[in-house]
Structure 1
Amino acid sequence: MAHALEIPTRRLPAWSILVFLVLTFAITWGVIGSYIFWPDAMSARFGAVSGAHPLYFLATWSPALAGLCLVLLYGGITGLKRFLTRLLIWRCPAAWWLFILVGIPLVFMAGSLIKGGPLIAPMPPEGAGAMLGLMFMMLFLGPVEEFGWRGVAQPLLQRYLAPVWAGALIGTVWGIWHLPAFYLAGVVYENWSFLPFLIGNITLAVLVTPMFNASHGSLLLPMLFHWQLINPFWPDAQPWDSWILIGVAAVIVWWKRDEMFSRDGAVTDVIPDEDRR
C-alpha cells in the first residue's frame, strides 16, 4: 500500500476535473441536502446546522478534500508534498499584495459609506476578542476551498481555456455549488438572493485569476484574498461592494487583457516539478 502511494505520474489528466467536480458536489450537496430534506432527523442525530457545525465545515471543505484526494492519487505522498509547497509561494508583483491587504478592505469601507454605514463592522456584545476568534475561524473555512478551486480546477482548465474564461467558468460552478445553502435555515445564505451572489462569484473568480497566474500558481494569495472577503471586521457593504468589485474586475481584465485572453504564461500544473517559493 505504501508503495502504491508513491507511484506517480505527478501530472493530473485533464479529465480528472470531472472527478473533482463529482466529489465536490456529492459531499456538499449530500450534507446540505440531507438537512434540507430531512431537517428533523438530521438535527436529532447530528445537531442543528450552523456556520460552526462540523458538518458545515465538511460541506465547505469538499473542494479541498476532492482536490487533495486527486493529488494523492496521481502524485502520491511526494506529489502531495510538492503540491503543498504552493502554500509557500508568495512572490508576485507588489500591486497584488497591495490589492489584497489594502484594496479589499477599502472596497468594503467605500461600499458601506455609500449606503451610510460604518467603516468597520460593529463589535459584538462579547467584544473584540469574539470578533478576533471569528476572524481566525474564517481562516479555516472559506479559504480552505482554494486547495480545490485554484489548486486543482484552475490549472486543469487553463490547459484548454484562456485564463479569463477558466476563471469565469470556475466562478459559475462555484456559485452553483453554493445553491443548496440558500434553502438551508440557520446559515447566512438564507437571507441572500442567489443571482447577485452568482454574479459576485464569477466576478471574484475572474479577479483572482491574474494574481494566481502572476504568482506562478500560489495558493497563499488566493487563500488570503478569500479570507479578506469574509473578514468579519469589514462592514456590510452589499450591494455596493459587488458593484465596485465588478468595476475593478473590468479594469483589471482590460489592463491585463494580453495575459487574460491568452494561455501563454498561464499556470497549468497542479503539482509543481520542483519547489518554488
Structure 2
Amino acid sequence: MTSLAEAPARPGLRGLIARRPVTVFFVLANLASWFAWTPYIMSRHGLGIWDFEFAGGALGSQLLGVLPGAYLGPIASALLVTAVADGRAGLREWAGRLWRWRVSWRWYVGILLGVPAAFILATLFVGGEAQVPSLMVLAAFVPGLLLQMITTGLAEEPGWRDFALPRLQRSVGPLGAAAIVGPLWGLWHLPLFLTQWGGGPGVEWYRPLEFITFCIAFNVVMMWVFNRTGQSLPLAMLLHVSVNNFASVVWSDMFPGLHTDYIQHAILVGSSVAAAILLVTTRGRLGYDRVVTR
C-alpha cells in the first residue's frame, strides 16, 4: 500500500496550486486586479486613452473603478487557492480568522485612538500645523470607517494577512514573511499610480517608491497586531482601514495648509518608527510566539 508521504503529486494546474499555493496566490492576485483595473487606468480617471469616466465623481470612481479589481484580486485568489490546495478544512480555517472578533477591548481602543494619534504626531513632525476638525468631518468618521471595513478591508486582508501571512510565517518565519508580504503588497498597488488614486500619469517618481516603503514598514505593524491578537483578521482590517479612513476623511481638514503629498510622508514616518520599535522590542518575532492556534 502506498503511504500518504509516498502519494504521487497531483498533475496539472491543481497540482501546481497544491505545491506552490503562496506563489500562485500572489500571481493571481496581481493579474486579476490589474486586469480588472484596466478600464479605470485607460479612462479619463487615468491615462485618458478611453474617452469615458465613471459616474459619481471621486467616490464613484473608487467604488466602480478600483473596488472591483480589489475584490477580484486578493480575496478571490485566496478563496480559490485555499479551496484547491486545502479543501474544506482549509476553507474553514481561512474563513474562521475572519470571525475572530473576541479580542480584548484594549486592542480596539488602542487602534481607534492610536492610529489618529500617530498620524497627527507624524504629520506635525513633517511640518504640519493642526487645527480641530469640523463637526461634519467628525460625524463622517465612523460611517467612513464602516464603509472602509467592507470595501478595502474585506477586499484585501483575507488575502495578504489571512492567506499569505500564516503560511509564510510557518515556512520562513516572521522576518522572512515580512520581507515577502510587504513588498508584494506594495507592488500590487503600482498600476493605480497611473490614475487619480495615485496622482495620475504625471506623478512624481518617488511617490510609488515611498508608498512601497510604507507598505513594507506598515506590514510589520500589521503582522504584530495579527499575531498578538490570535490571528484576528477583523483587528488587522481595522488597523488597515483606520489609516485609510483618517487620511481620506480627517487629514485634509486638520491640516489644510499642507499638500496631500504630506499624507504619504506622514504615514511613512509613523509606520517606520512603529516598525523599528516592534522589530527591536520583539527581537524580530513580531508576536509570532504568542499566536493562539485554533
Q: TM-score range by the shorter chain?
A: 0.7 to 0.9
Q: What is the rounded CA distance, in whole Å, between the counterparts of 1:131 and 1:92 in structure 2?
A: 23
Cα drift, residue 123 of structure 1: 6.8
**Counterpart among 84, 87, 107 of residue 118 in structure 2:** 107
- State whether structure 2 residue 84 is matched by structure 1 residue 58: no
- RMSD of aligned Cα (Å): 3.3
> Residues 170-194 of structure 1, C-alpha deviation per residue, up to 9 Å, x if partnerless?
110011111111112x324435711
**Counterpart among 213, 223, 235 of residue 221 in structure 1:** 235
**Counterpart among 87, 98, 101 of residue 98 in structure 2:** 87
Gaps of 5+ in 2: 1-16, 253-261
The code of the aligned residue for 2:28 comes to L
- State whether structure 2 residue 164 is matched by structure 1 residue 138: no
The corresponding residue for 2:214 is 200
Rg larger in 1 or in 2?
2
C-alpha change, 1:87 and 1:183, in structure 2 (3 Å) is: same
Q: What is the rounded CA distance, in whole Å, between the counterparts of 1:85 and 1:135 in structure 2?
A: 22
Cα drift, residue 211 of structure 1: 1.8
The code of the aligned residue for 2:34 comes to W
Confirm or deny: 8 A CA contact 2:39 2:65 kept in the other structure. Answer: no
C-alpha change, 1:128 and 1:250, in structure 2 (3 Å) is: closer
Identity of aligned residues (%): 26
The corresponding residue for 2:162 is 151
Structure that is richer in helix per residue: 2
C-alpha change, 1:91 and 1:138, in structure 2 (3 Å) is: closer
How many pairs does the alignment contain? 254
C-alpha change, 1:134 and 1:120, in structure 2 (3 Å) is: farther
Cα drift, residue 104 of structure 1: 1.0
* Structure 2 length-normalised TM: 0.72
Cα drift, residue 168 of structure 1: 2.9
C-alpha change, 1:165 and 1:120, in structure 2 (3 Å) is: farther
Gaps of 5+ in 1: 1-11
The corresponding residue for 2:270 is 244
C-alpha change, 1:119 and 1:201, in structure 2 (3 Å) is: farther
The corresponding residue for 1:259 is 285
Confirm or deny: 8 A CA contact 1:25 1:177 kept in the other structure. Answer: yes
Cα drift, residue 139 of structure 1: 1.9
Greater length-normalized contact order (CA 8 Å, ≥ 6 residues apart): 1
Q: What is the rounded CA distance, in whole Å, between the counterparts of 1:93 and 1:220 in structure 2?
A: 12
The code of the aligned residue for 1:25 comes to N
Matches within 5 A, 1:20-99: 20-37=25-42, 44=52, 51-61=61-71, 62-76=73-87, 79-90=90-101, 96-99=107-110
Q: What is the rounded CA distance, in whole Å, between the counterparts of 2:23 and 2:289 in structure 1?
A: 24
Q: What is the rounded CA distance, in whole Å, between the counterparts of 1:135 and 1:43 in structure 2?
A: 33
Confirm or deny: 8 A CA contact 2:40 2:66 kept in the other structure. Answer: no
* Structure 1 length-normalised TM: 0.76
C-alpha change, 1:100 and 1:119, in structure 2 (3 Å) is: farther
C-alpha change, 1:73 and 1:13, in structure 2 (3 Å) is: closer
Cα drift, residue 84 of structure 1: 2.0
Confirm or deny: 8 A CA contact 1:20 1:70 kept in the other structure. Answer: yes
Cα drift, residue 212 of structure 1: 1.4
